[in-house]
Structure 1
Amino acid sequence: MAQQKLYAGAKLRDIRTGAGLTQRSFAARLGVSLPYLNQMENNHRPVSTGVVLALAREFGFNVTEFSTGEPERIVSDMREALADPLFADHAPALADLRLVASNAPGLARAFLELHSAYRQGHERLAAMDEAQGRDGLRPSPWEEVRDFFHYCDNYIDAVDRAAERFAADGADTVATLAACGIRVELSEEPGQDLYLRDGSRLLLSARAAPATRRFQLLHQVALATRNDLLEATLDLARFQSATARAIAKIGLANYFAGAALMPYRAFLAAARETRHDLELLADRFDASVEQVAHRLSTLQRAGEKGVPFFFVRVDQAGTITKRHSATRLQFARFGGACPLWNVHRAFETPGQFLRQFAETPDGVRYFCLAREVSKPGGSFNAPVRRYAIGLGCEVQHADALVYADDMNMRRFEPIGISCRICERRDCHQRSVPPLERRLRVNPDRRGLLPYEIDG
């Protein structure tokens, strides 16, 4: 295998300037010509073995400091930083990044430190806004919609009742769409929950689960037959942008679909009868376990409330992709959820329910249920989506859930919301210090963390 050439112009310049030498004097000490040194310092030529030996002999330079991996690490770090939406319109080419990493690593490191400081400041403001309930930062359209459903307790009365009436009428969804001029077709093409609305043609994936196809049909029924209701609800919400309004309309159509699939009164009665057994409810309403868990978190109709649940969906990186809560438990707006929460362990036990009694720093105790969910792509080369869902309620409602039977209610695992706003000082899974606490660092003492948190 050919030996990798060593381009280290920036390191050569550092050594020369550190020794206080001109290029001419430095070239003489190394035994090379001035043009040759100039070419090496500008990475037009690789550093030769003779030059490396001369550096060690004349300047006591440790040749192991010539790390060929350093520029690549800088390039990797810069690519990650430049993935920030801040640089969406100004991302340089990979060749330019390599040029900067090789010729101006000091500038690259300064850029990385500046970006890191920017992100830390942004996260600090965001976390403080979350912790103190202020509206100091304008939310993104996605967050604005998420907050809309959150502050409605994930229950939209007019849409819910309209869906319940549609289900009571017993209308066929395909016929309803046909009456609106929309023809439904099935496609055998591999695709994850594929559907495509092309004018008067609605194309669904024949490979999707029946519950998924029913949900998608009901979603289209909402858009085709309840558009005035959806638009009126959006008018009342007063979103700050057209993008937020468009996202919310999809959310409201999804809400209609779930409420028509599992009508409020019938579903609430079945939930109580089965003691909230998700699998029994999924069979009874021809729905998926995730759809059932999500629907349980919406049963907040005045005078007919169900158990107040929280519902969350988490991807394999720990990022919360869906969250609703009718309980006092809140979720981190930025970053992942507490690693001590059982929803993260669900990936280790596919198809099984994990149960947990947990306590948050404010002293509130919860019963938490978690399960991994996989959605095959329908063919060998199609990707499989994997995530975990979490469902829970405050512990005083736990006896209404079949899953809490025979569990030890004397042991509650401590969980938090986010490390940045969690007050626990002795957590063995803490990733970052809390924002509003001073730290003590003792080099002669090492515990679970490399620092101690003042009370």
Structure 2
Amino acid sequence: MTADRKLFAGARLRRLRLAQGVTQTRMAADLGVSVSYLNLIERNQRPLTAAFLLKLAATYNLDLRQLTGDDGDAVAAELARVFAEPALAGIEVGRAELAEVAAAAPGVAQALLRLHAALGGAPAAAGPIEAVTEFLLDRRNHFPELDAACEALADELRLASGDTAAAIADRLRVRHGLTVRILPVRTMPDLLRRLDLHARQLQLSELLDAASRTFAVAGQLASLELRGAIDSVAEGSGVTEPATRALIVQSLVNYAAAAIMMPYARFHAACEALGYDVELLQARFGAGFEQVAHRLTTLQRPGLRGVPFFMLRVDRAGNVSKRFSGARSTLAARGGGCPLWTLHAAFDRPGVIQRQLVETEDGAAYLTVTRTVRTYAMPFGQARPEFACLIGCEAAHARPLVYASGLDLERTAATPIGLGCASCRRTACRQRSLPPRGTRLVIDAATRGITPFRFGEQP
């Protein structure tokens, strides 16, 4: 926020207050202002001052970017795409007006986007997985209450042993009466993990590597000792549908497992010191590539913030099975369907890290890093699961990364990519496989362009 710019963010402040479960009277008392003044701020009749913002962040441990950041820009960009539909031709709605809707009435903006999706636009959230992904994106995949609890737990474990997995196994045995057993694949042919309460055993398959075994026992410990904090976060989601709620809880258990293996402050310090080198971070924390990539998306602690990464995991067919992000952007929320992205070329060079500077249709540039990952061992002759894992951030945030070494982020030509052919309006793409949704297909028997699909606006 520049010194000469007044910040009006009443709607965002009100949402944050309600999310905290705090009344106007209570917040006014906490911040040392009058209720009438706070009311004027929430009604956008008074701007937020720097002193007010600092007091607010310190009192409620908030991320100021929730008030001053550009999350609304991504929503405004999505709205601009909706209002560019041929059916709305002639209705002039400027980007500034859309940004105002996104900031002042985010619920209305999301309703418009969902309605557009339901009527044939971008894919709508259709089930528990999509709903949980949206929940994590909304929270920027950052849960400070869980991180704090996991750091305290990790400190206790370090006092017990330098081997995290051994320390967790010992704690499970002593405090919870659970023994960790590694079982042969013939005993658990279709399971990787099983909690057998009758035998008081946490049973793990021998197919899991060391990092995955540590993750499994850390998740079990979190589900036992941090259940109150996990349930509290899940309750705050407002989700009541059983399957979605259960999936949110499982996602939070996984978050806690990673936070125990890679405690926030120590992990953040290592990231800064190592230039966010994923493979070095793997070695330091005894984690897998995918585990580190996921953890990188969570570094949003005020005063100790990391690079705002997003992460995707896809298979050879392009199905996105994981999507996490520390920053709201169209690419993070909907990307993954463009064949020009090295996300899909990773399978050609298994285990090799590939970097790429890409640019989306709205002009935003990102540095992305991709590598294939192996989930677990497989017996000979059986189909082996294959996935590619990608992390990325806006080019403006990429300078601290070892992966930016030797790149001129301002002058290097970026690969133009889209969200997928059905959503992309780039006219000269040689890789195009179908015309964009909502356009008119143009057929010209006399010519053949670089793509078989020429398109124009609907009449």
- The answer, yes or no, to whether TM exceeds 0.5 is yes
Deviation at 1:418, TM superposition (A): 2.2
CA spacing shift, 1:389–1:166, aligned 2, 3 Å: same
Deviations for 1:264-303, whole angstroms, at most 9, x for unmatched residues? 1100010010001111111000111111111111111122
Cα 1:127/1:273, change in 2 over 3 Å? farther
For the residues of structure 1 that align with 2:239 and 2:375, how far apart are their CA atoms? 33
Q: Distance in 2 between matches of 1:376 and 1:148?
A: 28
Maintained 8 Å contact 1:376/1:383: no
What corresponds to 1:164 in structure 2? 151
Distance (whole Å) between structure 2 residues aligned to residue 327 and residue 196 of structure 1? 35
Alignment check: 8 A CA contact 2:335 2:419 kept: no
- Measured at CA, do residues 155 and 335 of structure 1 come closer, stay the same or move farther in structure 2, by a change above 3 Å? closer
User: Counterpart in 1 of 2:41?
Assistant: none
- Does the alignment pair 1:449 with 2:451? yes
Residue 286 of structure 1 is matched in structure 2 by: 286
Report the counterpart of residue 67 of structure 1 in structure 2. Answer: none
2:118 maps to what in 1? Answer: 125
SS of the aligned residue for 1:185 comes to strand
After superposition, residues 29-48 of structure 1 pair within 5 angstroms as none
Partner of residue 8, structure 2: none
Summarize the Cα distance change of 1:279–1:423 in structure 2 as closer, same or farther, 3 Å threshold.
same
Report the counterpart of residue 397 of structure 2 in structure 1.
Answer: 397
Equivalent position SS for 1:400: coil
2:347 paired with 1:347: yes
Question: Counterpart amino acid of 1:125?
Answer: A
Contact 1:192 1:208 in 2 (8 A): no
**Larger RCO: Structure 1 or Structure 2 (Cα < 8 Å, ≥ 6 residues apart)?**
2
Cα distance, 1:140 vs structure 2: 0.5
Aligned residue number for residue 243 of structure 1: 243
Instruction: Write the distance in 2 (CA, Å) between the matches of 1:126 and 1:300.
Output: 35
The residue that corresponds to 1:30 in the other structure is: none
Report what 1:19 is aligned to.
none
Distance 2:194 2:208 in 1: 13
Q: Could you tell me which residue of structure 2 aligns to residue 148 of structure 1?
A: 135
Deviations 1:194-217 (A, max 9, x none): 111121221012342111000000
Give the aligned partner of residue 34 of structure 1. none
User: Moved runs in structure 1, 4+ residues, more than 6 A?
Assistant: 332-335
The answer on 1:182 being equivalent to 2:178 is yes
Distance (whole Å) between structure 1 residues aligned to residue 424 and residue 129 of structure 2:
25
Structure 2 counterpart of 1:188, which letter? P
Q: Distance in 1 between matches of 2:385 and 2:393?
A: 27
- Contact 1:441–1:450 (8 Å) recurs in 2: no
1:192 and 1:378 in contact (8 A); partners too: no
Q: 1:332 to 1:395 in 2, by over 3 A?
A: closer
Q: Check 1:207–1:436 CA distance in 2 against 1; reply closer, same or farther (3 A cut).
A: closer
State the 1:331 CA deviation: 4.6
% identity of equivalent residues: 36
Query: Cα distance 1:333–1:418, how it changes in 2: closer, same or farther (>3 A)?
Result: farther
- Given that 1:377 and 1:385 are in contact with CA atoms closer than 8 Å, whether structure 2 keeps it comes out as no
Q: 1:276 to 1:127 in 2, by over 3 A?
A: farther
- Say which SS state the counterpart of residue 367 (structure 1) adopts: strand
Aligned-pair distance for 1:384?
2.0
TM score, norm. by length of structure 2: 0.67
**SS at 1:351's partner residue?**
coil
Instruction: Check whether the contact 2:369–2:391 (CA below 8 A) recurs between aligned residues.
Output: yes
Contact 1:323 1:331 in 2 (8 A): no
Alpha-carbon deviations, 1:362-395, whole Å to 9, x = none?
Answer: 0000111111112453421444221100011111
TM-score, reference length from structure 1:
0.68
Tell me what 1:107 maps to.
none
**What SS does structure 2 have at the residue aligned with 1:266?**
helix
C-alpha displacement at 1:411, in angstroms? 1.1
Give me the CA root mean square deviation.
2.3
Q: How does 1:183-198 map to 2 (within 5 A)?
A: 183-189=179-185, 194-198=192-196
Tell me whether 399-408 or 141-150 shows the greater mean CA deviation. Answer: 399-408
Q: Mean Cα displacement is larger for which, 330-339 or 259-268?
A: 330-339
Give the corresponding residue for 1:6: none
Q: Following the alignment from structure 2 to structure 1, what is the Cα–Cα distance between the partners of residues 430 and 196?
A: 53
**Using the alignment, how far apart are the partners of 2:125 and 2:337 within structure 1?**
22
Kindly provide the amino acid, as one letter, of the partner of residue 424 in structure 1: R
C-alpha deviation, 1:442, in angstroms: 1.1
Match of 1:27 in 2: none
Q: CA 1:127 to 1:314, structure 2 compared with 1: closer, same or farther past 3 Å?
A: farther
Distance 1:187 1:296 in 2: 32
User: Contact 2:168 / 2:218 at 8 angstroms: preserved in 1?
Assistant: yes
- CA offset at residue 257 of structure 1? 0.3
Tell me which amino acid in the other structure corresponds to 1:326: G
- 1:438 deviation in Å? 2.5
Kept in 2: contact 1:310–1:391 (CA 8 A): yes
**Larger CA deviation: 300-309 vs 372-381:** 372-381
- Write the letter of the residue equivalent to 2:233: T
Measured in 1, the distance between the counterparts of 2:441 and 2:328 equals 29
Q: Does 1:231 align with 2:231?
A: yes
Q: Distance in 2 between matches of 1:361 and 1:206?
A: 46
Alignment gaps of 5+ in structure 1: 1-121, 131-136
Q: Whole-Å Cα distance in 1 between the matches of residues 401 and 221 of structure 2?
A: 33
2:140 touches 2:328 (CA, 8 Å); kept in 1? no
Distance in 1 (alpha carbons) for counterparts of 2:210 and 2:332: 33
Which of these two proteins has the greater Rg computed from alpha carbons? 1
Deviation for aligned residue 1:124? 6.5
1:139 aligns with 2:126: yes
- Worse-superposed segment, 329-338 or 389-398: 329-338
Aligned length, in residue pairs = 328
SS in 1 for 2:366: strand
Do the aligned residues in 2 keep the contact of 1:319 with 1:335 (CA within 8 Å)? Answer: no
CA distance in 2, matches of 1:126, 1:163: 43
1:334, distance to aligned residue in structure 2 (A): 7.9
- 2-side partners of 1:452 and 1:208: how far apart? 49
1:127–1:327 Cα change, 3 Å: farther
